[in-house]
C-alpha cells in the first residue's frame, strides 16, 4: 500500500520567515495530495491541495509543489505568522474510486513572534 513520509517532525521559525515541509510517497499511482492544518484540540482543516497534472499551486502565503518523477511534494509558507503555529499533515490518495487518504506523521510548526 501507499506510504507517506513527512519531514521535519518539528520546525521552529521566527515570524516573517518562510517554512518548508516535505513529503515523499511510494505509490506512483497516487494523484491527489492535500495538506491539512490541525490546531491544538481542533479538527484537521484542508488548507491546500494539488493534483498530479499540476506542478505548483499557490494560495496567498501558501504554496504546494509536486515532483511526480521524484514522488515528493512540499508545502511552502511565506511570511509566517504566530497563527500559523499548528501541526501540518500531508496526505496522498489515488483515484481508485475510494476516498482514502494516507497521511504523513505530521510536522509541528512553531512560529515565534
Partner 1 sequence: KAGVTQTPRYLIKTRGQQVTLSCSPISGHRSVSWYQQTPGQGLQFLFEYFSETQRNKGNFPGRFSGRQFSNSRSEMNVSTLELGDSALYLCASSWDRGAETQYFGPGTRLLVL
**Residue 100 binds to partner 1 (criterion: CB under 8 A):** yes
**Residue 52 binds to partner 1 (criterion: CB under 8 A):** no
The least distance separating partner 1 from the CB of residue 41, rounded to whole angstroms, comes to 9
83 three-state secondary structure: helix
The least distance separating partner 1 from the CB of residue 94, rounded to whole angstroms, comes to 9
**Residue 105 binds to partner 1 (criterion: CB under 8 A):** yes
Give Cα separations from 111 to 77, 81, 86, 89 (angstroms).
11, 6, 9, 17
**Residue 77 binds to partner 1 (criterion: CB under 8 A):** no
**Residue 36 binds to partner 1 (criterion: CB under 8 A):** yes
Distant-in-sequence, close-in-space partners of 56: CB < 8 Å, separation ≥ 6:
50, 63, 64, 65, 66
Q: CB-wise, 80 or 93, nearer to partner 1?
A: 93
**Residue recorded with cell 500531508:** 90
Distant-in-sequence, close-in-space partners of 50: CB < 8 Å, separation ≥ 6:
32, 33, 34, 56, 57, 64, 65, 66, 73
Among 53, 70, 97, 113, binds partner 1 (CB under 8 A): 97
**Residue 99 binds to partner 1 (criterion: CB under 8 A):** yes
**Residue ranges in contact with partner 1 by CB under 8 A:** 32, 34, 36, 42-46, 49, 89, 91, 93, 95-106
Amino acid at each position: 500500500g501507499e506510504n507517506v513520509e513527512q519531514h521535519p517532525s518539528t520546525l521552529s521559525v521566527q515570524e516573517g520567515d518562510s517554512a518548508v515541509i516535505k513529503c515523499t510517497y511510494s505509490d506512483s499511482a497516487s494523484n491527489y495530495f492535500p495538506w491539512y492544518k490541525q490546531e491544538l484540540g481542533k479538527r484537521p482543516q484542508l488548507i491546500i491541495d494539488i493534483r498530479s497534472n499540476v506542478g505548483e499551486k499557490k494560495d496567498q502565503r501558501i504554496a504546494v509543489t509536486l515532483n511526480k518523477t521524484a514522488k515528493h511534494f512540499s508545502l511552502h509558507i511565506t511570511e509566517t505568522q504566530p497563527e500559523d503555529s499548528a501541526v501540518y499533515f500531508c496526505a496522498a490518495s489515488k483515484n481508485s474510486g475510494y476516498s482514502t487518504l494516507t497521511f504523513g506523521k505530521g510536522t509541528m510548526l512553531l512560529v515565534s513572534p
